[in-house]
Amino acid sequence: MTISRHSSQWLTGGMACRKHILVFCGLLLLASCSAKPKQDYDISYDFSVLKTFNQLIIKQTDDPLTADRISHNIKQTLQNQGYDFNADNADFLVSYAFFTEDEQKNSGLSIGLGSGSWGSGGGVSLGTSLGIPLGSDTAKMQTIQIDIIDPADNRLIWRGNGQYNFDQGGEAKANSINETVVAILAQFPPKK
């Protein structure tokens, strides 16, 4: 059996296509797993006047590493958005809370996409499967809630929250906290 130069190029191209399909499916899966941040705000408030902020100190927590990471990321994100940190003369105050809860893992229907070649032909296949949970059927999720407060009357004017998977630790957890805080504050100020 002779394989021409053209058929080997086709196989190489097919493998590249397969890699792109698998990367796309992986990104789609990751995007569907993350919870979208939510917000609520005072619709009568003029957010355009806000230029400076200060952070309120949260009460004692049993997880000071997480508290420090959240506090640092809030300050950094707001400064990156153009707000100035000013403890003495702040236009708004920032407070936050975080809590952990168990959520059911999604072990329902999944869709798979693959490609392959056999002989001189190739193809793409699509299939479905029903997940069978192995091990724990719950995941620890941590919710971060960020409040923006008007210091003139201590009134809540904006609240945002988001979640991340809490089963991880160390650098992975620090990155998840940063991504969650950035995603929450990407909604602030609200676009009316």
Looking at the domain assignment, is residue 192 inside a domain?
no
CB atoms within 10 A of CB 39: 17
Give residue-wise pLDDT tens across range 18-69: 554 544 444 444 444 456 889 999 999 999 999 999 999 887 788 899 999 9
CB contact at 8 A, 131 and 105: no
Looking at the domain assignment, is residue 159 inside a domain?
yes
CATH number of domain containing 41 = 3.30.160
Q: What is the number of domains present in the chain?
A: 1
Looking at the domain assignment, is residue 168 inside a domain?
yes
Cis peptide before 190 (omega within 30 of 0): no
Looking at the domain assignment, is residue 39 inside a domain?
yes
- Residue 116 above 80 pLDDT? no
- Residue 94 above 60 pLDDT? yes
Q: Quick one: average pLDDT of 149-163?
A: 97
Give residue-wise pLDDT tens across range 34-46: 568 899 999 999 9
| DSSP secondary structure code for residue 157 in this structure | E
| DSSP secondary structure code for residue 73 in this structure | H
- Residue 136 above 80 pLDDT? no
CA-nearest of 106, 110, 168 to 138 is: 106
**Distance (Å, whole) CA 118 – CA 98:** 53
Task: State how beta strands 155-165 and 138-150 pair.
Answer: antiparallel
- Residue 93 above 70 pLDDT? yes
- Residue 17 above 80 pLDDT? no
Residue that the structure tokens 């923006």 belong to: 148
Q: Which pair of structure tokens corresponds to residue 83?
A: 């707000």
State the angle between helix axes of 170-185 and 64-80 in degrees (0 to 180), rounded to the nearest 10.
40
**What's the pTM value of the predicted model, to 2 decimals?**
0.67
Confidence bin at 16 (pLDDT 50/70/90): low
Domain range spanning residue 147? 5-185
CA-nearest of 109, 90, 84, 73 to 181 is: 73
CB atoms within 10 A of CB 131: 11
**End-to-end CA separation in angstroms for the chain:** 68
> Which residues lie across from 99 on neighbouring strands?
143
Looking at the domain assignment, is residue 191 inside a domain?
no
With a pLDDT cut of 70, the percent of the chain lying above it is: 65
Looking at the domain assignment, is residue 174 inside a domain?
yes
Looking at the domain assignment, is residue 28 inside a domain?
yes
